Amino acid sequence: MTAAPTEIRVSRDRRTLTVSFDDGARFSLPAEMLRVLSPSAEVKGHGPGQAVTVPGKRNVEIMTVAPAGNYAIRIGFDDMHDSGIYTWTYLRELGEDGARMFADYEAELAEKGMTRDRAERPR
């Protein structure tokens, strides 16, 4: 199990969440990545094959960060999405493997003819 972060900080421009862990690991997670890879049912679905690709979030900002028990945070974004529970383990995963995960997201956008800049219905 991943230890709890020692610090969670939102940048002044609200576009980056920095998470520091007690082993010295520190990750700067872009708001767009956090939003489009949200662990919420709205994005991931309720079962296999139900995940959607969320376009048009390049300029999304973090509005709120609130504790969710002793194991996670809930992040609220300026597009009103706030249902994702980001566990310490998932935040660590995004820090360590987020670049690959985001590249996969960009490939999905291209396959579906969507962009990071144009908001439309997720599919």
Query: Tens digits of per-residue pLDDT, 48-92?
Result: 889 999 999 999 999 999 999 999 999 999 999 999 999 999 999
Establish if 122 belongs to a structural domain. no
Across the strands, what pairs with 87? Answer: 72
Report how far Cα 45 is from the mean position of its chain's Cα atoms.
15
Establish if 123 belongs to a structural domain. no
Separation CA 49–CA 30 (nearest Å): 26
Establish if 119 belongs to a structural domain. no
Separation CA 76–CA 67 (nearest Å): 12
At 94-121, the pLDDT tens digits run 999 999 999 999 999 999 999 999 989 8
- The pTM for the full model equals 0.95
- How many folded domains does the chain comprise? 1
Establish if 120 belongs to a structural domain. no
Q: What is the CATH number of the domain that holds 37?
A: 3.30.2020.30
Establish if 20 belongs to a structural domain. yes
Domain residue limits at 22: 5-112
Establish if 86 belongs to a structural domain. yes
According to DSSP H, which parts of the chain are helical?
31-36, 41-44, 88-111
Query: 37: which residues sit within 8 A by CB, 6+ positions away?
Result: 43, 94, 98, 101, 102, 105
